[in-house]
Chain A
Amino acid sequence: MKTAVHLEIVVAFLFALAGPVRSAVPPPVSADPLGRVATLPPTASPHWVWVNDFVFPHMPDGQAILVDGDSGRFLGMLSTGFGFSRLVLAKDGKIVFSPETYFSRGTRGTRTDVVTMYDPARLAPIGEIVIPPKRASSMPMMGDSELTDDGRFLLIYNFTPAQSITVVDAKAHQLVGEIETSGCALVYPTGPRSFFSICADGSLLNVRLDDAGKATAQDRTAKMFDVAHDPVTEKGVRVGSTWHFVSYSGVMYPVNITPAGLALGPRWSLLTADDKAQQWRPGGLQQLAVHSGLNRLYSIMHRGGPETHKDPGKEVWVYDLATHARLQRMTLQNDSGAIQVTHDSKPLLFSAFIGSTTLDVYDATSGAWLRSVQNVGTTPTILVTP
């Protein structure tokens, strides 16, 4: 009996507990308004990255995908047309420029090339500038399009296969014209009104512009690179007044921007004798990155023979650009064909590979792996950071 009484008390207690719980059921979820669209903060985080994708299996459908390196969150995307190369971010961060190609019937009809301007907060087009339908169709590279140092002019490489550079006024949002660069390719800015292109014989074409964006002078340097035996790749990176290029075999060629013109600095090698004996060499589509504040160079490395200069790597080697000392060997989670380092004081290193849809994020100072973001694009190529 005593047990039965205790049981009644317990049951009553449980009902007493359950009662208030039943009455605390939250109100129904309210209806969502129609038409809500997310926006981004007006100022980009230095830890965001644009993953540019030329979507090789479906080239009319180029994409640029924005990812937050701190959270790994997929923030949004742009649709960027046929044979897409990469976005160019305005220096003040207020416009995203995108050289694009379209056909009036998808893959046929009239070809129209434009620079589409996007609002970086809404990721929506706010205007376009029609440019000559000559934009180069090639494996994407940073040198396909660049802004002059002051952000005034956007320079776009053309290949028809005649070579030239289209000049766009990035402030007035209008086409300026075209500069012939016969025998020379790509764009490497050297100041507010100047850039160079690399020529087939290993010399550089130095071009100067006036305030209207017209070419006022062109001159060719002496041969700087050994095109026949060990050419430098097109994947140069810049710190201050020096462009750094690397050869297939890992020799660094610093090109200094001086008042007297372009001057080749002392060459140095990424590789020791032991490294060479083990067949280490640089490779990849965007194989070099730099951090200006730390004055460091990052290079994707792999082991392979002489014709593996575009192969991905599982390591990134870090160098002090002042002493040329190798500071670190980063071991990567996955194959890497493209790296980019953020510009801030706590930099991240992003890594992607055209044969994978995983974006990896590392601490660029310690080399520690932070996170991987899955399903980013289709064939990711070039990484661009604010």
Chain B
Amino acid sequence: MKWLDSLTEGSTRAVARRTSRRGFLGSLGGFLVGTSGLPLLPVARGAQPTPDQGGTPAKPGAKPDNSQDPTSCEYWRHCAIDGYLCGCCGGSQSSCPPGTEQSAVTWVGTCHNPADGRDYVVSYNDCCGKSTCGRCLCNRNERDTPIYVPFESNDYNWCSGSSKANIPYHCSTARIVAVAK
């Protein structure tokens, strides 16, 4: 099915240049806001994970630059991530935690790396096969579409049918696929 092919990583690169969504937990943007008491702004959903969640603590005073911290929601690769950060769950920004399976079908985004000034295609593969990790929830609702536009919606669990481990969702990675051209 052609529309299904368009969901695969290679053919979604072009789509990634015009949008930046993937994920499952969009509505938990409100969850984050609700539990943290942060203002209802999209940027607020990039809430800093607390140290007890495994995240890097925010520095007092001036707003810290967490764009190079993989355990921060503000990490540059996380521009379109939506879920628990695998780096807080025993994996890393590019690898799944031990004993889980990486989903093959995914959503990809294009993120700007301020360290080298380049844009990268980033693939947000979910790690599947265990119950939810529960650490470092990170969610932004940028350019999210309803689930009748699946490949641009953040409300699906992308472990669905695309992983040997089937649908149990554990956490999300942010793999670099290529430099965006």
Residues of chain A at the chain B interface (Cβ within 8 Å): 56-60, 82-83, 101, 103, 107-108, 111, 134, 136-139, 141, 159-163, 182-186, 197-200, 227, 231-234, 283-285, 302-305, 307-312, 335, 337, 353-356, 379
A144: nearest residue on chain B (CB-CB)? Answer: B147
Q: A200-B150, A354-B31 are in contact. List 4 more A-B contacts (CB 8 A).
A: A56-B132, A82-B167, A111-B167, A355-B31
Report Cα–Cα, A345/B62, bound state, in Å. Answer: 56
Which residues of chain B (148-181) have a CB below 8 Å from chain A?
148-150, 155-157, 159-162, 165-169
A179 to chain B minimum Cβ distance, whole angstroms, is 15
CA distance A310 to B145 in the complex (A): 11
**Stretch in B22-30, B69-77, B86-94, B117-125 touching the partner:** B22-30
Contact of A186 with B131 in the complex, beta carbons under 8 Å: no
A138 B146 Cβ-Cβ under 8 A: no
Of B1, B25, B40, B42, which is in contact with the most chain A CB atoms at under 10 Å from its CB? B40
Q: Is the CB of A354 within 8 A of B27?
A: yes
Residues of A within 8 A of B27 (CB): 139, 285, 310, 337, 354
B161 touches A311 (CB 8 A): no
Asked whether, in the complex, the Cβ of B131 is within 8 Å of the Cβ of A161, the reply is no
Q: Are A356 and B26 in contact (CB under 8 A)?
A: no
- Name B141's closest neighbour in chain A (CB-CB): A307
- Of all chain A residues, the one with the shortest Cβ separation from B128 is A107
Residue of B3, B141, B169 near A182 (CB, 8 A) is: B3
Give Cα A61–Cα B146 distance, bound, in whole angstroms. Answer: 26
Task: Give the Cβ gap from A354 to chain B, nearest Cβ, in Å.
Answer: 5
Q: Is the CB of B148 within 8 A of A234?
A: yes
Distance in Å: Cβ of A114 to nearest Cβ of chain B: 15
CB-based contact A200/B4 at 8 Å = no
Q: Give Cα A161 to B3, complex, Å.
A: 10
Q: Min CB distance, B180 to chain A, in Å?
A: 22
**Is A308's CB under 8 angstroms from B141's CB?**
yes
Give Cα A163 to B160, complex, Å. Answer: 11
Residues B34 and A335 in contact, CB atoms below 8 Å apart: yes
A293 vs B140: C-alpha distance in the bound complex, in angstroms?
Answer: 39
Assuming the A-B contacts A107-B130, A231-B149, are A307 and B30 also in contact, with contact meaning beta carbons closer than 8 angstroms in the complex?
A: no
B33 in the interface (beta carbon within 8 A): yes
B interface list, Cβ under 8 A from A: 1, 3-4, 7, 24-35, 40-42, 105, 129-132, 134, 140-150, 155-157, 159-162, 165-169
- B34 in contact with A59 (CB, 8 Å): no
Contact A57 B150 (CB under 8 A): no
User: In the complex the two chains form, is A139's CB within 8 Å of B40's CB?
Assistant: no
Chain A residues whose CB sits within 8 angstroms of the CB of B145 once the complex forms? 227, 231
Give the residues in chain A near B142, CB-CB below 8 Å: 307
Shortest A150–chain B CB gap in Å is 26
Most A CB within 10 A of own CB, among B25, B132, B168: B168
CA distance A136 to B156 in the complex (A): 8
CB–CB A139/B26 < 8 A:
yes
Structural contact, B40 and A304, CB atoms closer than 8 A? yes
**Cα–Cα, bound, A137→B167 (Å):** 7
Chain B residue at minimum C-beta to C-beta distance from A109: B166
Residues of B close to A335: CB separation below 8 A: 30, 34
Contact (Cβ within 8 A) B150 A56 = no
Cβ of A282 to closest chain B Cβ, rounded Å? 13
B115 to chain A, nearest CB (A): 26
* Neighbouring B residues of A199 by C-beta, 8 Å: 148
- CA of A32 to CA of B146, assembled, Å: 54
Q: Which has the most chain A C-beta neighbours within 10 Å: B25, B29, B129, B142?
A: B29
Q: In the complex the two chains form, what is the Cα distance from A170 to B9 in whole Å?
A: 40
Do A234 and B30 contact each other (CB < 8 Å), given the known contacts A304-B41, A308-B141, A309-B141?
no
